[in-house]
Chain A
């Protein structure tokens, strides 16, 4: 694997060019450019906020901020996987048949392009936070924000591993993308994006709560979503419909460490899976 990585490193300029091309093509011919891809999550967040606050009538103070902080990483996850799963077949099938280059640059550049998006979305999120703190609370951004790069690295590793696996599977079974779309729909609700992880915690029978909740956090999606929320926003205040208080739990740093290992293992496993099959792609397209 080390040799493969060294070879990949030689082609870093190719990755750079593919990423730039990806970003250029996406924003070409649209006046609002980048804002289109930001507008979508913002409208989603506004819609979900209205549904939760006024139709389901859950009382969570500043719900939209807690939602947005989970939704932006989710969009990164979703878009990166959808883009990378068919990037080879859709855009680069001719290249595969005619030129040698490390095949992994293709899914990798899709992931990186989406990472850059996510970075831009976070900038807007911070602008929103500043506005929100400044005008509404006057409290500063918390020092735990320093964990943010760590979380981004972890999430990127997770996504890269899955992207390698999916883009490879898609070369052999073109339904991979459809299965992925279904799974993403399911996991959007299973992951604590629209709600906080504490709600799941309170639903676990008390006898097994400690262990089962740790198992729940073993899913890196759950852990990461929870962690983004906790490092970027202060503990929430929420009451359920029957007036029951839900208290905010502290961030489980031990599980975050475990999660980092899981993300790294996913990345390595995905890369190995991809490498073992990448030279068959040219015969499959």
Chain B
């Protein structure tokens, strides 16, 4: 039983930030702690994803889609429950995540790779592939802070896929690309699937989910509402909305 990703009974509570003493003064002065407001972002969610699966996560805003992706990506620790991830992960949890705004595109390829735990030597071989895929030759020596959202997405996606991870996590970023580049991304995802890699992506684009994912997870207010065949899950989701 070797899953790519296994979440068992994951619960995530966020303490609402304005209730926290932000300074020593506030901490000292609040003899009586104010009642801490908690937000239940994920409520006892269990999911197993096998190697080679492509899974879409759908749901309304605030349903816990991004939270679950961040828990898989080890950015947040769950409040309770266990996670197991087998394989090297590449994450694209936001536009420009893992890029430094002051550095150029070229320097950022190295920086981003280092953040993913790759050495400079490992990334050197992939360098040209990344630039080719992103089609950013003309801007590669420009600081990333002057990139458009679409350009950030191109570079981020290129680094994420060309470093050949076993598992790819994508949070809704593909939407900012133009139609042509999106098509290229989905083609790349297809070849990724063919190579037996695992992909988990959060999306509001149900057509994209239908096109790419064989399995879809629908989260509603932190609760796992449906998990299974994409078309069935999406139908459920749409009928629930109406």
A13-B118, A100-B74 given as contacts; is B23 within 8 A of A95 (CB)? no
Indicate if the CB atoms of A99 and B98 lie closer than 8 Å: yes
Interface residues of B in 101-125 (CB under 8 A from A): 102-103, 110-111, 114-120
Q: How far is the CA of A199 from the CA of B86 in the complex (A)?
A: 62
Residues facing A in B47-99 (CB within 8 A) are: 70, 73-77, 89, 91, 93-94, 96-98
The reply on A279 being an interface residue by CB < 8 A is: yes
Contact residues in B for A10 (Cβ distance below 8 Å):
117
B110 close to A283 (CB less than 8 A):
no
Q: Taking A21-B103, A100-B73, A173-B27 as contacts, is the C-beta distance between A95 and B97 under 8 angstroms? A: yes
Q: Report yes or no: A283 in contact with B114, Cβ–Cβ below 8 A.
A: no
Q: How far is the CA of A49 from the CA of B22 in the complex (A)?
A: 42
Contact yes or no, B114 A14, CB < 8 A: yes
CB of A168, distance to nearest CB on chain B (Å):
14
The answer, yes or no, to whether A26 is at the interface (CB within 8 Å) is: no
Contact A175 B97 (CB under 8 A): no
User: Within 8 Å of chain A (Cβ to Cβ): is B25?
Assistant: yes
Asked whether, in the complex, the Cβ of A25 is within 8 Å of the Cβ of B102, the reply is yes
* Interface: A101 (CB within 8 A): yes
With a cutoff of 8 Å between Cβ atoms, the chain B residues found around residue A280 in the complex are: 77
A interface majority secondary structure:
helix
B100 in the interface (beta carbon within 8 A): yes
* Chain B 156-199 interface mask (CB, 8 Å, partner A; 1/0): 00000000000000000000000000000000000000000000
A198 sits at the interface (CB 8 A): no
- How far, in whole Å, are A85 and B25 apart by their CA atoms in the complex? 19
Residues 78 to 99 of chain A near chain B (Cβ within 8 Å): 94-99
Contact B94 A282 (CB under 8 A): no
- Please, how many angstroms separate the alpha-carbon atoms of A17 and B106 in the complex? 13
Please report which residues of chain B, range 4-48, place their CB below 8 angstroms from some CB of chain A when the two chains form the complex.
14-15, 17, 21-25, 27
Complex CA gap A101/B100 in Å reads 15
- Residue B76 contacts which of A95, A176, A279 (CB distance < 8 angstroms)? A279
Considering only residues 153-210 of chain A, those with a C-beta below 8 Å from chain B are: 173-176, 179
CB distance from B74 to the nearest CB of A (A): 4
Q: B98–A175 contact, CB under 8 A?
A: no
Question: Among A14, A25, A282, which residue has its beta carbon within 8 angstroms of that of B75?
Answer: A282
Q: Is the CB of B76 within 8 A of A98?
A: no
A-B contact pairs, 27 of them (CB 8 A): A10-B117, A13-B119, A14-B114, A17-B110, A17-B111, A17-B114, A21-B103, A21-B111, A94-B97, A96-B75, A97-B93, A98-B75, A98-B91, A98-B94, A99-B73, A99-B98, A99-B116, A100-B89, A101-B115, A173-B24, A175-B23, A175-B24, A175-B25, A179-B24, A282-B75, A283-B15, A283-B76
Interface residues of B (CB under 8 A from A): 14-15, 17, 21-25, 27, 70, 73-77, 89, 91, 93-94, 96-98, 100, 102-103, 110-111, 114-120
A interface residue numbers (CB < 8 A to B): 10-11, 13-14, 16-17, 21, 25, 94-101, 173-176, 179, 279-280, 282-284
Contacts A98-B94, A99-B75 known; 6 new A-B pairs at CB < 8 A: A13-B118, A14-B115, A16-B114, A99-B97, A99-B98, A100-B73
